[in-house]
Structure 1
Amino acid sequence: MGLREDLERYRAVGEERRQDLAEFIQYGDLGQSRQDEVRIPIKIVDLPEFAYDQRDTGGVGQGEGAEEGDPVGQPQPQPGDGDEDGEPGEEGGEHEYYEMNPEEFAQELDEQLGLDLDPKGKKVVEESEGDFTDITRTGPSSTLDFEHLFKEGLKRKLAMDFDREFVREALKVDGWGPATVFDWARDQHVPVSKAWLEETYDEIDDAEKATWDSIEEMEANVERTDTAARIRREGVDQIPFRREDERYRYPEIVEEKERNVVVVNIRDVSGSMRQKKRELVERTFTPLDWYLQGKYDNAEFVYIAHDADAWEVDREEFFGIRSGGGTRISSAYEVAMERLEAEYPWSEWNRYVFAAGDSENSSNDTEEHVIPLMEQIPANLHAYVETQPSGNAINATHAEEVGRHFRDAGDVAVAYVSSPEDVVDAIYEILSTEEEDA
């Protein structure tokens, strides 16, 4: 095995030793990743390399003027040996991170958590003609459905056909004429017309019109052949086609729908949201962003921060910003509703509205404003994540009120995160809620 094969093998071992996905979500350095690239640390495997032993730099034949027995002194530092004056190496440590895109991240998270979220397509981006599977009553002759026409004609043939020879013999019963035979035929469910009976009766010789003394005698001596057996034996000479039997094929219109998603992330930035709480929000929301970006064709994100008032921020600000103000969660939903209705219509966009905080809210705001706003904003999923590292505070009731009001709803999830160990369970609670609703 050559050096190249050795190197590839060690790299493969390194990838196998990358941090477990759940462990990465709970404890990993999320900041090393970007919105479109997830970088998961690898537990380092040192790659083998050749190195000169600097202890062998003196001795016989190791330099001009050196003689056997002369002291050779201490080995001198070599470039790149880690001395402070040397330049750092330029070659990157590619084996230090395992990189995956959001699509791969979503697939692996599905496997780990047992999820099967099927993203919905909404906005029609292209219409094309598919197979000729739809049927209409009119159309060009080139699209006439001959198979349908033949089947309808054959069904009519079977419904109208009868054993003419058998009925002809009934006209030879002594004393019977077309009218009597017609009544008898109706009782026998034979679809014969009076005109045919009259025409056939006129063709029979007068001597034959008393061949049978009774209809019972005729039925006992004349074999009756059913339509299906007669067609199998004699074939079909004529199929009675009609205009109403015509059907024309036209292509099915196939709508290609783009799977668009907008994710609205809302975070409480009031004075009570200290660093540990902010970190728990980041650990929960960042994987959710990656997951949904990996599931949908086109993903856009809106980040809203709020204390007593709400405003939009960029992604970099979202997880670090902190305010000293109070808390009014409804202010964020007001901004979210205005933005969604203006730029992301429900008919064209899948919507996710995720909010997080420590469940502290101004008096009556949850019941009187937040819950009605959540009901007014159509979304695939609403979720609230409570972050309380030290346990529930006395006035931290927002999550409880939301959960109680929407306990029977299939599109609202409430999750509780008090430590990194709770993050993966919270993500599962949120995503599985939509899966069950779907």
Structure 2
Amino acid sequence: MSPVVPVLARARRLRTRAVVTSTVPSRVDAAVLARAFRAAPRRPLTHLVLAAPGSGNIGDQALTEALLENTDGPATLVLTGAGAPGLPAELAARVTPLALPELVYGTGPAHREDVAALGRALAGAAHLSVIGADVMDGRYSLPASVRRSSLAATASRLGVDTRVVGFSWSDRARTAARRSLADAGAAGVRLLLRDPVSAERARRDGIGPVEETADVVFAARTTDPSAADRLLAGVTAPVALVNVSGLIGGRLDQTAEYATVVEALRERGLHVLLVPHVARPGTDDVAACTAVAERVGAPVVPDLLTPAQVRGLTARATVTVTGRMHLAVMSLLHGVPAVTLATQGKVEGLMRLVGVPELCVEPGPGMGDAVVGVLDRVLPAGSPARAAVRAALPGVVALARRNVEGLAAPVPAGRAA
């Protein structure tokens, strides 16, 4: 690679950051959105949901489905990434997809066209819910974080009931993302943080008002045992679900560490099933899980499951080890301890919420032995960790349902608004 290429890439990143920080793009977006909104017929009949980034991620899919499961009436799902989620039939029957691929990540005329399309859709919406997840603090994509916040702020100023649903906040949030989210809060957007650590960080950054909730996936209402029946047919031993994160694998050779974990679980009499949670270029769990499977000879789920099928697996598990937070959430939802590798500062708050901070392990050399040490404390049926999770769960589910408070079903078509 030419030494000029990294320099040019860095220059582009700095230029993009400078433009975003200037707030000029946000002001242009606000003007385009407002103009399209005011020109369209105003009859709020739907719930507009700005989905998490895209397909290939069970966690993103689980967030979208859990939100929709806990509301009723017609909904419009705004898709900003590649591919459309395959919603369960009962949701697909009342959810209309709206593909706006340039809305969050695009530039130029195509981006402005998608902003205008969002404005027209807002004119027919009673509510706007932005699924915040871990994409609001600018750590993954600063322009995308700023756009989500600024679009939400404009929608609220136009009179649409707007919220950012259960999301994390980093202790290293980018300045422009922080300012944009603070502006959204000042505009009346409900900021629903999904754990107490994130809420503390947001308040410390001058963002408010914030409301403490839990991840909306804790409010999921469906479980599908079909994959568990197939993958665990004939298994009589207790089951351990193990996820190997392709995201963590991008900066750490995990294979030997996970081999230590799998061997320890087997020595303790557990059947190990390797479960990928994300299948995207550059962060692919399927490849990461397969590498461990080839090393230790454990079975691996060959394709991504649906969120309900994952919950069917976690309902059969005794323990989970994961590098992906939403596999932890769906395990904890069934009272199953989930030893979770900390990424992006979002796991610490989750484990404080369920009262078992020791389930959070920092990824790095030697993490295999660290995970085994935690497993030995949580595996016994009467362990304090299991008792703590069971005791905390009803309160956590109630917090998760705060994400959907006030989302009354829009007026059905054919009735006066």
Shorter-chain TM-score bucket reads: under 0.3
Structure with the greater alpha carbon radius of gyration:
1
What TM-score results when the alignment is normalised by the length of structure 2?
A: 0.28
Q: Identify the structure with the greater helix proportion.
A: 2
What TM-score results when the alignment is normalised by the length of structure 1?
A: 0.27
